[in-house]
Amino acid sequence: MGQWVERSSFEHRDFVRFQRALRAETDWLHDLAERDQLSQHAPMAGLELEAWLVDAAGRAAPRNAEFIARCASPEVVTEIGRFNIEINVPPQPVQGLGLGRLATALQDAWARCGEVAADMGLHVVAIGILPSLSDAELNIANLSEPLRYRALNQQVLRQRHGRPTRLDIDGPRAARLRCEHHDVMLEAAATSFQLHLQLPAAQAVRAHNAAMIAAAPVLAMAGNSPLLFGHALWQETRIPLFEQALGIGAREDAQHSPLPRVGFGSGYVGYSMVECFRENLERFEPLLPVALDEPVERLAHLRLHNGTIWRWHRPVLGFDTEDGRVHIRTEHRPLPAGPSLPDMMANLVFTIGLVAAWAAADEPPELRLPFERARANFHAAARDGLHSRLTGLDGQKLSATQWLRQLLPLARQGLEQLQVDAALADGWMQLLRERLDSGLTGARWQLARLDALGGDLAALTLDYARHQVGDSPLHLWR
């Protein structure tokens, strides 16, 4: 988005021109897919880690412009809030030692960020929602400097016709959070750890659907966002927070029910991944109708528009470095940042293995689990974590913990199918088994530690940051 957006206000003719270009590019992508011209590259994986800058008092530090300038790395960039950053790790082949190289690159980038933060008197913290964050800090003054964020804010307000976003999240024991915001800054409260998985085009549909089903069990074990503005809510409060943060959806008509701009999607993919981009064209009004001087083959309007629709499993267009062929990869967005680098990599590897196993299954899992149940599983896992009751592929209800014990060996088989180095795969699977045996998630650790600290949110934030520096997996934390 940042490479294209250089203005924040638009006229009606901008929307007309953008829509025309969007339709031409969608048709061109459809033609590529029909002629089997999309990439058949061997499996690749990349990642993005969003994180917080925190001061010595345990509060969010709105200093990302200075921080990024000091890092002087193209892989460390801004996020929407001045207290957020994003680390991008270049993709690696999944086969062999590739995922090990991905983990090493993440560790090196994280160590560099830690050094820069320390020189500024700050901490850099990977956590879904910062426990000490206050509602008042999510104000327009803390919107990051790049113009694209101001353009996004202005256009979201336009589509909402000036109405505020109303946040309404129920938690356990009758807890409930309600508030209103007149800008997009609620989005800055949620940070994630995103996996980009590229498979050959012939496998992409099965893998995308498998990822949607895998989201619930993986998230049940990975929850790390139980607190928002001092309220204990969902185990992964990022999910309802982000789904409500923008307060805008798709066009409504007689044939379609409202479709949120942030959400689980409208259904499984059927024949081609191009279906998602066709849905983008037909059902979502452009937010940033920038005039782009790019040939249709670069799909610039399509990529920009897609970047303003936040499915939890979002298809993303790119170009192979070897021959420039167009590929469609899936961006897996449900996982929160944190709690430790080993835990995040284990979650990533578990997702890859489970997706690979289900995508190659004789009977597609999407034929065994209706989409509505997959979506219900996802929200149940986000709400209740390891305590959630989920619907398995056989239609029976079971606890998240029970299902996870069944799925870990299946994910290991998937990693073997992808020819991931056995020692690397075994190490991450062992970490996941030990975490599951401990009964801990990042969310559970935060809530227990908050009780021990007498409800001091800033102290919890600093204690979490100290544990994270040691790079020990969660189940070994005090």
The confidence score (pLDDT) of residue 160 equals: 87
Residue 194 lies in a domain: yes
Residue 264 lies in a domain: yes
Within 8 A by CB and 6+ apart from 274, the residues are 26, 29, 30, 33
Using 70 as the pLDDT threshold, list the residues of the chain that sit under it. 1-4, 6, 8, 249-257
The confidence score (pLDDT) of residue 256 equals: 54
Domain count along the chain = 1
Residue 56 lies in a domain: no
3-class secondary structure, 339: coil
Which residue reads 């259904």 in tokens? 267
Distances (CA, A) of 315 to 44, 211, 327, 428: 14, 11, 10, 26
User: Domain range for residue 192?
Assistant: 12-41+135-438
* Residue 109 structure tokens: 């980038």
Neighbours of 174 (CB within 10 A): 6
Is there a contact between 429 and 411 (Cβ–Cβ < 8 Å)? yes
Distances (CA, A) of 265 to 212, 238, 310: 9, 17, 9
Residue 263 lies in a domain: yes
Kindly state the percentage of the chain with pLDDT values over 70. 97
* Angstrom distance (rounded) from CA 388 to CA 172: 13
The confidence score (pLDDT) of residue 257 equals: 60
Cα–chain center distance at 263: 11
Tens-digit pLDDT profile for residues 21-76: 999 999 999 999 999 999 999 999 999 999 999 999 999 999 999 999 999 999 99
* Helix runs in 9-54, H state only: 12-34
Within 8 A by CB and 6+ apart from 435, the residues are 221, 343, 346, 441, 473, 474, 475
3-class secondary structure, 396: coil
3-class secondary structure, 86: strand
Residue 458 lies in a domain: no
Residue 198 lies in a domain: yes
* Angstrom distance (rounded) from CA 290 to CA 5: 7
* Angstrom distance (rounded) from CA 341 to CA 126: 9
CATH number of the domain enclosing 196: 3.30.590
> Which residue type occupies 368?
R
3-class secondary structure, 136: helix
* Angstrom distance (rounded) from CA 203 to CA 330: 11
Residue 426 lies in a domain: yes
The confidence score (pLDDT) of residue 254 equals: 43
Tens-digit pLDDT profile for residues 87-125: 999 999 999 999 999 999 999 999 999 999 999 999 999
The confidence score (pLDDT) of residue 221 equals: 98
Which residue reads 């908050």 in tokens? 450
Residue 252 lies in a domain: yes
Q: Enter the pTM of the model.
A: 0.95
Radius of gyration of the chain (CA): 21
* Angstrom distance (rounded) from CA 238 to CA 247: 15
Look up residue 374 and give its DSSP letter. H
The confidence score (pLDDT) of residue 2 equals: 54
Tens-digit pLDDT profile for residues 293-303: 899 999 999 99
